[in-house]
Amino acid sequence: NAGVMQNPRHLVRRRGQEARLRCSPMKGHSHVYWYRQLPEEGLKFMVYLQKENIIDESGMPKERFSAEFPKEGPSILRIQQVVRGDSAAYFCASSPGGRIGYTFGSGTRLTVV
């Protein structure tokens, strides 16, 4: 039973490009959460999704960031027109429901040059 799979592990983008981060939840998990960890900081909640629905996006920047969790396929976190301040580690977690059984992926480290 594979854990939460995130890809790519490392992503380098030039300023102004788009970044797409993918997250495949654990088998049987229908809840996906995205967190961001900036250097020297803890993980900060961004968005919570269930299949085809955004439940809570209160932690997501209002512009350039979007997330989806389609009926088929992985959850995608999309960052348009990236800037240097977007450089961070982005972690995805999944759960069967609620905060019990919350499992994190290994993260995607985004570097904007």
Partner 1 sequence: DQQVKQNSPSLSVQEGRISILNCDYTNSMFDYFLWYKKYPAEGPTFLISISSIKDKNEDGRFTVFLNKSAKHLSLHIVPSQPGDSAVYFCAASEGHNLFFGTGTRLTVIP
Do 81 and 18 form a contact (C-beta atoms < 8 A)? yes
Site for partner 1 contains 63 (CB under 8 A)? no
Three-point CA angle 108, 110, 113, nearest 5°: 165
d(CA 97, CA 102): 8
Sketch the per residue contact string, 21 through 50, with partner 1: x for CB under 8 A, - otherwise.
Answer: ----------x-x-x----xxxxxx--x--
The size of the chain, in residues, is 113
Q: Tell me the site size for partner 1, rule CB under 8 A.
A: 26
| Contact residues: partner 1, CB under 8 A | 4, 6, 9, 31, 33, 35, 40-45, 48, 55-56, 59, 91, 93, 98-99, 102-107
